[in-house]
Structure 1
Amino acid sequence: MTTPAPGRKRRRTSGRRAPGEHPPAEHPPAGQRPAGPPAAPPAERRPPAAPFPQGERFPAAGPYSPAAPYPAEQYPAAGHAPVEPAPAPAEPASAEPGTAERASGRRSSAMRSAKRSAKPSPRRDSAEEPEGILGRLEAWGLSPVQQKLVLGGAWTAAAAAVIGALLLAIAAIGNDYVPEPPAADTGTAASQPRPAAYRGWPSSKVFAPIAQSKADPLLLPLKDVFAEKTLTEGRITLRLTGTKLDVACAEAVWGRTLTDRLAQAGCTQALRGTYTSADRRYVAQYTLFKLRDAASADGLVSSLATLHRGGWVRPVDPARPLFTADGHSEGSGHAMGHYAGLVWIGRADGAEPDAKDDFVSLSLAVRGAEKAVFRRVVAVAPTP
């Protein structure tokens, strides 16, 4: 036995191989297929697992998952083409920590936007529109009580608008309103003269002492009212041409409405007088009624503003009337305590007044007959 040289160790021949050394490959005999699937390749030849970013979960176990064994090679049957395995779905990788939280927030916002867009639009199609006013109010979200308030306010506004329109129409008509005369007076109204324009004035405080007929029970004599034979105002001079006193006031007027009005006012006297101007250009008539009180006198002169075309005073001399039915004339009413005076003036030819005519002075001149009423005020309440 040969003794080894000192200092050298004997190399052991064991079954352990050095790193990187591969066992010899075993091949089956020619013409013979291996009995089973080939052995898995050594671990060094396995493809390295793809690195996963921090914070991401590893995918489930699969053919190429680090947790799964390396798939064994399988040989397809003869005559069949190999089938490639379907690749696993790729997972999105985050670039940096916190990206997953921001992505989750964006997904939540997108889901909320999708829910809002999925909600039906409040605007309805024409086929779904609610029918009627109540349906529309209910669609607007009004309660039954609010719906009643809205409808009540709408009806109130509509009624107020209608009433306002009627009042405006009546005001626009004014003194031009002509009531239809009663059936019995139709022929009389067409043939009787009457003023084309009229205006009335209520009683003033000056006549307060004679507001009641009880304070002035005496009848006015005809000669006291028409005591002056000539009346002058400005350039107009009137001369008295006729007078008449009627105890029954209905005989001094025509028209059923005016007759009834005088009866209700307690008329006890009707005094009439006619005048002609010195130049015979103008004519005038003055009528004075003695009534129950000042309220009756005010009511008479105000009612004639609309009723004067359906009833007026008669001329003193029907055979020779100063006014004609087709001529132009004007009238006015003046309440003085429990007395009411009616003025009737016009041109003698019945023509309308022009720039040369002064109907104001003509009216003031004929009212000179009212001096008798002022004397009654002084007689009832004398000045101290």
Structure 2
Amino acid sequence: MPLIVVAAVVVVLVAAGAVAFFVMGGEEDEAAGGPGNGARISPVAYTPQMADKDMAKLAQRSADQRPITQGEAFPADVKTVAYQKYSFTLAGSQLSADCKAVTWGARLQGDLAKYGCSQIARGAYVSQDKRHVGQFIAVNLVSQQGAEQIVRDLDPATGAGFVLPLNAPGAPDFRSGFSAAYAQAYGHYAIITWVQRAGGSQPASLNEMIDASLAIEKPADFVWGRLELVDGTPR
């Protein structure tokens, strides 16, 4: 199921609260990152979605214990992704077993520990014309309850924190300014797509961000592969 199923709600949310989100989500800390990590920033627009009933059999990591691998999260068929007029190339990826090292915010980091975060996979995408950048993020939690809590924490209105963007050679870095993120719990995984115009300028519309995000959502297919293994029923 695509992350973006409530586009109309996003438009209303941004129209009503853009100023507040700019204030809360635009702070940047140049000292925040380690190797591969970008600055401490949050998206301006954020759309959360809880897990749907299709993911019930993937609700507990005890049923899906094998760790994510780099090749599973970022196989060859997600090196280039596209939707509508947007085409992106994977500039770099990283799979970290240290969830604290690739995030910021005491509350978020506390909940990652509480709900057994074991891995965070990040992929940095850049559009072919280098006008847009995107981040694909997958967080491996012990339960669906944990994944849904992380989705709530990532809302900039909570001030809980966010995942650090992955910097990659050849891709413009994520910056403070306008960006949009879409997050959903997929069983015990939290999946986030996060996009912005390179440099952080205001997009022409939210549809621009939605379409770009749908392009870089492709790596989330690994979750459906996991569900097939647990469920035993090919999709």
CA contact (8 A) 1:178 1:307 kept: no
Distance in 2 of aligned mates of 1:314 and 1:321: 15
Distance in 2 of aligned mates of 1:286 and 1:353: 19
Matches within 5 A, 1:171-190: 176=20
Whether 1:272 aligns to 2:122 is yes
Counterpart residue identity of residue 59, structure 2: A
Deviation of 1:321 (Å):
6.0
Alpha carbons of structure 1 residues 321 and 260: separation in structure 2 relative to 1, 3 Å = farther
Deviation of 1:343 (Å):
1.5
CA RMSD of aligned residues (A): 2.9
Structure 1 residue ranges (4+ consecutive) displaced by more than 3 angstroms after TM superposition: 172-180, 306-310, 318-321
Alpha carbons of structure 1 residues 322 and 178: separation in structure 2 relative to 1, 3 Å = closer
Corresponding residue for residue 48 of structure 2: 200
Matches within 5 A, 1:1-384: 176=20, 192-227=40-75, 228-307=78-157, 309-317=159-167, 322-325=173-176, 327-355=177-205, 358-383=208-233
Q: How many residues align?
A: 206
CA contact (8 A) 1:201 1:301 kept: yes
CA contact (8 A) 1:178 1:310 kept: no
Partner secondary structure for residue 89 of structure 2:
strand
Who wins on radius of gyration, i.e. which is larger? 1
Counterpart residue identity of residue 294, structure 1: Q
Partner secondary structure for residue 284 of structure 1:
strand
Alpha carbons of structure 1 residues 175 and 258: separation in structure 2 relative to 1, 3 Å = farther
CA contact (8 A) 1:178 1:306 kept: no
Deviation of 1:303 (Å):
2.7
Q: Deviations over 1:192-235 (max 9, x none)?
A: 22211212100011111111000000001011111121111111
Deviation of 1:280 (Å):
1.3
CA contact (8 A) 1:179 1:306 kept: no
Consecutive unaligned residues in structure 1, runs of 5 or more: 1-171
Alpha carbons of structure 1 residues 379 and 200: separation in structure 2 relative to 1, 3 Å = same
Alpha carbons of structure 1 residues 297 and 174: separation in structure 2 relative to 1, 3 Å = farther
Distance in 1 of aligned mates of 2:23 and 2:178: 19
Partner secondary structure for residue 263 of structure 1:
helix
CA contact (8 A) 2:140 2:190 kept: yes
Q: Deviations over 1:137-180 (max 9, x none)?
A: xxxxxxxxxxxxxxxxxxxxxxxxxxxxxxxxxxx989947999
Distance in 2 of aligned mates of 1:346 and 1:173: 18
Alpha carbons of structure 1 residues 348 and 173: separation in structure 2 relative to 1, 3 Å = closer
Deviation of 1:288 (Å):
0.5
CA contact (8 A) 2:50 2:185 kept: yes
Deviation of 1:350 (Å):
1.5
Q: Deviations over 1:294-332 (max 9, x none)?
A: 11111111232245655111122289762112x211112
Counterpart residue identity of residue 232, structure 2: P
Partner secondary structure for residue 155 of structure 2:
helix
Distance in 1 of aligned mates of 2:83 and 2:222: 18
Counterpart residue identity of residue 360, structure 1: I
Counterpart residue identity of residue 167, structure 2: D
Counterpart residue identity of residue 179, structure 2: S
Structure that is richer in strand per residue: 2
Distance in 1 of aligned mates of 2:132 and 2:23: 29
Question: Identical aligned pairs, as a percentage?
Answer: 31
Q: Deviations over 1:254-304 (max 9, x none)?
A: 111111111111100111000011121110001101001111111111232
Distance in 2 of aligned mates of 1:286 and 1:372: 12
Distance in 2 of aligned mates of 1:372 and 1:246: 17
Counterpart residue identity of residue 323, structure 1: F
Deviation of 1:346 (Å):
0.4
If the length of structure 2 is used for normalisation, what is the TM-score? 0.78
